[in-house]
């Protein structure tokens, strides 16, 4: 099968546009991570974008403030998105999160029926999309979604490692 040059160019242009959109929305998730850090929370942020490209919900970690172990960025963003939706289903939506979701959040994203999850950096200790498990692509589940990792991954990883570096330094004292 031959592919003409103009078709290839269109495919590459579409891929570049998609990558630019992913970077732009990941920057929004990073803004949420910044808000979490300003509140003394682990800097993880999430935004959920609807199928037409509009913001549906946003959230950042609030576990300490809320004294709630389920107050992860993704859970709060899902709750916010469903408040602005006609259904609990987030069909066609994309979740952008700065850190690979844990098992709880990945399960919630499956249950919310998102179409796609884009994350920044891997979580080797708790990541449930690629690092430890593959919840979003497990065909045994009633729903699967597309996964794209590594979007602004270095920036996301540095935000987290910088937070923990400063936290350890503050515990050691002067």
Separation CA 139–CA 154 (nearest Å): 30
Instruction: Return the axis-axis angle of helices 153-172 and 5-38, rounded to nearest 10°.
Output: 20
What is the spatial order of strands in the sheet that 94-99 belongs to? 55-60, 45-49, 94-99, 116-121, 146-148
Length of the chain: 174
Separation CA 116–CA 148 (nearest Å): 8
Active-site hit among 32, 41, 62, 74: 74
Look up 74 and say whether it is catalytic: yes
Q: Would you please indicate which residues are annotated as catalytic (active-site) residues?
A: 74
């Amino acid at each position: 099968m031959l592919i003409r040059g103009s078709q290839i160019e269109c495919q590459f242009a579409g891929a570049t546009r998609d990558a630019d959109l992913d970077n732009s929305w990941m920057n929004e998730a990073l803004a949420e991570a910044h808000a979490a850090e300003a509140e003394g929370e682990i800097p993880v942020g999430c935004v959920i974008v609807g199928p037409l490209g509009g913001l549906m919900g946003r959230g950042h970690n609030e576990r300490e403030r809320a004294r709630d172990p389920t107050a992860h960025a993704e859970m709060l963003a899902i709750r916010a998105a469903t408040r602005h939706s006609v259904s609990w289903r987030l069909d066609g939506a994309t979740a952008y999160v700065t850190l690979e979701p844990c098992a709880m959040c990945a399960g919630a994203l499956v249950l919310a029926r998102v179409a796609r999850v884009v994350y920044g950096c891997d979580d080797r200790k708790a990541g449930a999309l690629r690092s430890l498990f593959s919840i979003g692509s497990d065909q045994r589940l009633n729903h699967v979604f597309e996964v794209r990792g590594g979007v602004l991954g270095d920036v996301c990883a540095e935000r987290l490692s910088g937070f923990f570096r400063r936290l350890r330094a503050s515990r050691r004292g002067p």
